[in-house]
Amino acid sequence: MARQGNGEDRELDAPPLVAMRGIAKRFGDFVANDGIDLDIRAGEVHALLGENGAGKSTLVKILYGLLQPSAGEIAWEGRRVVLDNPVAARSLGIGMVFQHFSLFENLTVAENIAAAMAQDLSLAAIAARVTEIGARYGLALDPERPVWTLSAGERQRIEIVRCLMQEPRLIVLDEPTSVLTPQEAERLFETLERLRDQGTAILYISHRLEEVRRLCTRATILRLGRKVDTLDPRAVSARQLAAMMVGAEVGEVRADIGPAGAGVLEIAGLSLPPGGVHGVALKDVSLDVRAGEIVGIAGIAGNGQSELFAALSGERRADHAGTIRIGGVDVGLDGVNARRALGAAFVAEERLGHGAVPAHALSENIVLTRHAESELTWRGFVMPAAARGLADRVRKAFDVRAGRGDPAAATLSGGNLQKFVVGREMTRKPRLLVVNQPTWGVDAAAATLIRQALVDGAKEGAAIVVISQDLDELFEVSSRIAVIHDGRLSPPRPVAELTREVVGLVMGGGESGHAR
Amino acid sequence: MTLVEAVILTVITAATPLLIAAIGELVVERSGVLNLGVEGMMAVGAACAFAGAVTLDSTFGGFVAGAAAGMALSLVFALAVLGVAANQVASGLALTILGLGLAGVIGAPFVGARRDPIMQLQVPGLTDIPLIGRALFGQDPIVYLSFALVLAVFWFLFRTRRGLTLRAIGEDHASAHALGLPVIRMRLLAILFGGACAGLAGAYLSLVYTRFWSPGMTGGRGWIALALVVFAAWRPGRALAGAYLFGLASVLQLHAQAGAIRLPSQLLSALPYLVTIVALVILAARDRRATGAPASLGIPFVPDR
């Protein structure tokens, strides 16, 4: 039986603002939502909790009219409605803040907002309203700025202001804090609390349990497309919530790394021009990583992480050979293969398309990064049996669940493919491993396995660089943490000396109590 | 008529079909669709316009037939790239080959026929001003229409709500779809507009520029129009400048070939292309912001339902 949240008794007579009943959604054989019920009341912050693949995004896409349910119905204030596109949802008063922002990089803030408005307002009128709403809710924005010049936090503000322009009665936020610093997240919570107090209903999708317990009075938990329960998240522990989401107790990473050894990676004054039109330049980056330690690199997306990864992996060359040294050898001007030959291994951020070729079989993807090993190739010819054998060993060692035989990379789920690309590099026993966003968009069990593999790798003497946006992850595995902001890397400091707040401030570009 | 006046008048005639085809393709590409079939649609437009004008004995009827034929051919392209999300490059190239072939079939019975010159504006007093009178006040209606098109497209793209929707769709169709903007419908309308423009441009070639029909008469102008869109950085004003620059260079090189300049004719023939590319590249390089293509250009859109 569902436990009750705040104000339940008072509002029992009135129908909920939104009632979703028996919602099901099938994509072919795959059941994304299976008979889900969800009530949202005016003036409440309702959490939707679940792992990746639990069906949260599908459910809210149905609520926003982007997907049509295969079965079930939606009632708005007790009346049945059919939401066949987002325009219909918006006209009822449903607003949505997407996880991957639905913004147009080359258009201005005002144009981005105008594109989603029902009425045909002039850009000047929109700019005025943006300023007015910005002042009322503390969401400052410059209407004339093109979006590509803005930070993730500012982009999210556009999405929220765009929602508020239509005076919504229900706002859906999909993983809103995943791209924010802790300080930016705190400001978002204040805005949401203000909206809630004005009677706006908020559906808050997250997998960060502490946030949910801080903000929400009711939570609906989904697992594998089904509803587990609706309850008051403050009445149970974060651990219990996690167990309900995953369906089992989540293991913890044992991060008992010993003292670090000799230096393996040395970066001295690395500067690189931006890679593309919207890229970030690296400015005088220096870092030493020793054997047996994990150095975490924190930062908000788009602050030079991909450029740093490209420079370390050799996809982009440095100006001088001595700028980057691996095991005492100058490699700044060398390519990926030369660096791999020195015992380095790299795991790119995008597993499909960068880390693995989607349409190629797993064994073929093994050959892509490990072709230099004598086992896999003979005088330029690939040895398919050996490649398949190695792929099978990686699959066994990293618990990669994939189809029968030798399936294509694209057929694996995100978590399984990530385990595979990490495993492909880790089973080499690399001397240096650079990994960018190791557990991005991966389920909790896979994330734990990958983090444990990183820790174990360091214990066996590898020097490891973990670039991640997930502060919890970095605090879990790192020996030292550095922060990248606008292409500059702060000096790394031991984890014991750091708090999330301190790291968060540097991620936002401030040194101390700077609360923009 | 002085030589300078003659040059000005031929430049206008040479530039007009390029401008019309380019402005149509510009709208298509702003919506995120790359239609490489401009040459084919122009060829069919030229053939149908000439056939229509001769059959109906009406130049106006010919223009309507040309635009309608270009639009009909672009509908085939739209069905492929929007209906079944086919590869846009391959579909566009196929459209060009199809269009050139169709044009040959349609135009063959009309080889050897000629049309009278098109009616031109006559403003007593103004048209007789030396040098610029005929250039400004003595043109055919299509020339004025081409300028009106540039203005209208500029106003539509940058001053109207629907234009903003179209640009947003071209920038990021996934986001646009997530906001509920009608991606497929806007793209369909843009493709049809581009087809009508290409057909009209072809009609201008056979009804005004040459006044007869011959196979292969488009002579690569569709490709020039495509290149103009890119080098004009998807901006209507620059497409206008590019089309006239190209027209000027091609007329000047003809005069140079006829005159005493001792350069291989092939080199001179290449000159207009070179001049246009260099000029537009310089323009684009000065303004970094404007060089970006619509980010979704050429990427098939498949909504999940």
- pLDDT at residue B156 greater than cutoff 90: yes
CA distances from A112 to A334, A366, A448, B293 (A): 43, 43, 39, 18
Strands, sheet with A201-206, edge to edge from the N-terminal-most edge strand? A94-97, A170-174, A201-206, A45-49, A218-223, A226-231
- Who among A86, A112, A146 is closest to B178 (CB)? A86
Query: Which of A90, A102, A119 should be substituted to probe chain B, the one whose Cβ sees the most B Cβ atoms within 10 Å?
Result: A102
Residue linked to tokens 């001595």:
A322
CA distances from B289 to A116, A123, A149, A369, B292 (A): 24, 20, 11, 37, 7
> Measuring CA to CA, which residue among A404, A400, A430 is closest to residue A415?
A400
Contact (CB<8Å) A67/B304: yes
Strands, sheet with A30-40, edge to edge from the N-terminal-most edge strand? A30-40, A18-27, A71-76, A79-81
- pLDDT at residue A208 greater than cutoff 60: yes
The hierarchical CATH code for the domain A263-507 is 3.40.50.300
C-alpha gyration radius of chain A: 24
Q: B112 at the A interface (CB within 8 A)? A: no
Measure CA A53 to chain center: 14
Q: How far apart are CA A239 and CA B299, in angstroms?
A: 44
Q: What is the mean pLDDT of residues A24-40?
A: 89
Confidence band for B305, pLDDT divided at 50, 70 and 90 = low
Q: Residue A27: closest CA among chain B residues belongs to which residue?
A: B305
CA distances from A418 to A71, A345, A389, B283 (A): 33, 15, 19, 45
Please tell me which residue, A435 or A120, carries the higher pLDDT value. Answer: A435
Confidence band for A259, pLDDT divided at 50, 70 and 90 = confident
Measure CA A344 to chain center: 26
Q: B178 at the A interface (CB within 8 A)? A: yes
Please tell me which residue, B71 or A210, carries the higher pLDDT value. Answer: B71
Cβ contacts of A325 within 8 Å, gap of 6 or more: A265, A266, A267, A268, A331, A332
Set of chain B residues whose Cβ sits within 8 Å of the Cβ of A147: none
The residue ranges of every structural domain in chain A are: 1-93+168-250, 97-167, 263-507
Cβ contacts of B278 within 8 Å, gap of 6 or more: none
Contact (CB<8Å) B171/A104: yes
H or E element in which residue B225 lies: helix B221-231
Residue A16 corresponds to which tokens in the numbers above? 């909920």
> What was the pLDDT predicted at B237?
93
Q: B169 at the A interface (CB within 8 A)? A: no
> With the C-alpha atoms ordered A372, A374, A375, A381, is the resulting torsion angle positive or negative?
positive
Query: Which of A104, A117, A120 should be substituted to probe chain B, the one whose Cβ sees the most B Cβ atoms within 10 Å?
Result: A104
- pLDDT at residue A4 greater than cutoff 50: no
- SS3 state of residue A421: helix
- pLDDT at residue B235 greater than cutoff 50: yes
Contact (CB<8Å) A115/B181: yes
How confident is the model over B255-290, as pLDDT tens digits? 888 876 778 888 888 888 888 778 777 776 766 555
How confident is the model over B130-154, as pLDDT tens digits? 777 788 888 899 999 999 999 999 9
> Measuring CA to CA, which residue among A418, A176, A437 is closest to residue A299?
A437
Cβ A95 vs Cβ A171: under 8 Å: yes
Could you give the residue ranges of the DSSP H alpha helices within A300-335?
A: 305-313
Q: Count H helices and E strands in chain B, helices first.
A: 12, 0
How confident is the model over A74-87, as pLDDT tens digits? 999 999 999 998 88
Residue A18 corresponds to which tokens in the numbers above? 């939104």
Reduce the secondary structure of B60-126 to three states and give it as a string.
HHHHHHHHHHHHHHHHHHHHHHHHCCCCHHHHHHHHHHHHHHHHHHHHHHHCCCCCCCCCCCCCCCC
Cβ A412 vs Cβ A404: under 8 Å: no
Q: How many CB atoms lie within 10 A of CB B106?
A: 19
Q: What is the mean pLDDT of residues A381-392?
A: 91
> What was the pLDDT predicted at B142?
94
- Residue A112, min C-alpha distance to chain B (Å): 8
Pairing of strands A218-223, A344-347: unpaired
Looking at 3.10.20.600, 3.30.1340.10, 3.40.50.300, 3.40.50.1360, the CATH number of the domain A1-93+168-250 comes to: 3.40.50.300
Instruction: Provide the 8-state DSSP code for B130.
Output: T
Cβ contacts of A57 within 8 Å, gap of 6 or more: A99, A174, A205
Q: How far apart are CA B287 and CA B280, in angstroms?
A: 11
How confident is the model over A441-474, as pLDDT tens digits? 777 788 889 999 999 999 999 999 999 988 888 9
> What was the pLDDT predicted at B204?
96
- Residue A306, min C-alpha distance to chain B (Å): 20
Q: How far apart are CA B71 and CA B52, in angstroms?
A: 15
CA B21-B26-B30 angle, 5° bins: 155
Set of chain A residues whose Cβ sits within 8 Å of the Cβ of B305: 67-68
Residue linked to tokens 């023939």:
B269
Q: How far apart are CA B188 and CA B59, in angstroms?
A: 28
Residue linked to tokens 């700077």:
A514
Q: B86 at the A interface (CB within 8 A)? A: no
CA distances from A409 to A353, A421, B194 (A): 10, 10, 40
> With the C-alpha atoms ordered A236, A241, A247, A252, is the resulting torsion angle positive or negative?
negative
- pLDDT at residue A513 greater than cutoff 50: no
- Amino acid identity of residue A150, one-letter, is L
> What was the pLDDT predicted at A170?
95
> Measuring CA to CA, which residue among B200, B161, B231, B173 is closest to residue B64?
B200
Cβ contacts of B193 within 8 Å, gap of 6 or more: B24, B27, B28
Q: What is the mean pLDDT of residues B12-24?
A: 95
How confident is the model over A318-341, as pLDDT tens digits? 999 999 999 999 999 999 999 999
Strands, sheet with A324-326, edge to edge from the N-terminal-most edge strand? A282-290, A263-272, A324-326, A329-330
Any bridge partners for residue A347, and if so which?
A435
Q: B164 at the A interface (CB within 8 A)? A: yes
Q: What is the mean pLDDT of residues A423-451?
A: 89
- pLDDT at residue A271 greater than cutoff 90: yes
Q: What is the mean pLDDT of residues A175-190?
A: 81
Pairing of strands A493-494, A480-485: antiparallel
Residues in chain B: 305
Across chain A, what does the average pLDDT equal?
Answer: 87
Q: How far apart are CA A462 and CA A342, in angstroms?
A: 13
Set of chain B residues whose Cβ sits within 8 Å of the Cβ of A106: 171, 292, 295
Please tell me which residue, A117 or A315, carries the higher pLDDT value. Answer: A315
Cβ A53 vs Cβ A443: under 8 Å: yes
Please tell me which residue, A244 or A257, carries the higher pLDDT value. Answer: A244
CA A186-A92-A89 angle, 5° bins: 75
CA A482-A488-A489 angle, 5° bins: 15
> What was the pLDDT predicted at A463?
96
Reduce the secondary structure of B172-190 to three states and give it as a string.
CHHHHHHCCCCHHHHHHHH
> What was the pLDDT predicted at B291?
56
Cβ B223 vs Cβ B277: under 8 Å: no
Pairing of strands A381-382, A263-272: unpaired
Q: A104 at the B interface (CB within 8 A)? A: yes
Confidence band for A2, pLDDT divided at 50, 70 and 90 = very low
Q: What is the mean pLDDT of residues A417-438?
A: 93
Cβ contacts of A125 within 8 Å, gap of 6 or more: none
Cβ A50 vs Cβ A229: under 8 Å: no
> What was the pLDDT predicted at A492?
94
Q: Residue B163: closest CA among chain A residues belongs to which residue?
A: A115
Pairing of strands A170-174, A94-97: parallel
Q: How far apart are CA A17 and CA A77, in angstroms?
A: 5
Cβ A304 vs Cβ A429: under 8 Å: no
Q: What is the mean pLDDT of residues B234-253?
A: 90
- Residue A194, min C-alpha distance to chain B (Å): 25
- pLDDT at residue A59 greater than cutoff 50: yes
- pLDDT at residue A515 greater than cutoff 60: no
- Amino acid identity of residue A479, one-letter, is S
- pLDDT at residue A58 greater than cutoff 60: yes
Set of chain B residues whose Cβ sits within 8 Å of the Cβ of A89: 180
Q: How far apart are CA A372 and CA B273, in angstroms?
A: 47
Asked whether this complex has an ipTM greater than 0.90, the answer is no
Set of chain A residues whose Cβ sits within 8 Å of the Cβ of B161: 114, 120
Residue A38 corresponds to which tokens in the numbers above? 């969800």
Domains of chain B are 3-291 (1.10.3470)
Q: Residue B169: closest CA among chain A residues belongs to which residue?
A: A104
CB-defined contacts A:B, below 8 A: 60
Q: What is the mean pLDDT of residues A267-285?
A: 86
Q: What is the mean pLDDT of residues B202-222?
A: 93
Contact (CB<8Å) B292/A277: yes
> What was the pLDDT predicted at A11?
47
How confident is the model over A340-352, as pLDDT tens digits? 999 999 999 888 8
> What was the pLDDT predicted at A249?
66
- pLDDT at residue A371 greater than cutoff 90: no
Residue % of chain A over a pLDDT of 70: 95
Residues 260-319 of A with CB under 8 A from B: 277
- pLDDT at residue B111 greater than cutoff 70: yes
A204-208, B88-92, B183-187, B246-250: lowest mean pLDDT where? Answer: A204-208
Set of chain A residues whose Cβ sits within 8 Å of the Cβ of B176: 102, 104, 115
Q: Residue A66: closest CA among chain B residues belongs to which residue?
A: B178
Residue A131 corresponds to which tokens in the numbers above? 């300023």
Residue linked to tokens 């999330």:
A500
Q: What is the mean pLDDT of residues B295-301?
A: 88
> What was the pLDDT predicted at B43?
97
> Measuring CA to CA, which residue among A510, A348, A503, A352 is closest to residue A438?
A348
> What was the pLDDT predicted at B287?
61
> Measuring CA to CA, which residue among A147, A110, A105, A106 is closest to residue A131?
A110
Q: What is the mean pLDDT of residues A202-227?
A: 89
Residue B155 corresponds to which tokens in the numbers above? 């106003």
Q: Return phi, psi of residue A258, to 5°.
A: -80, -170
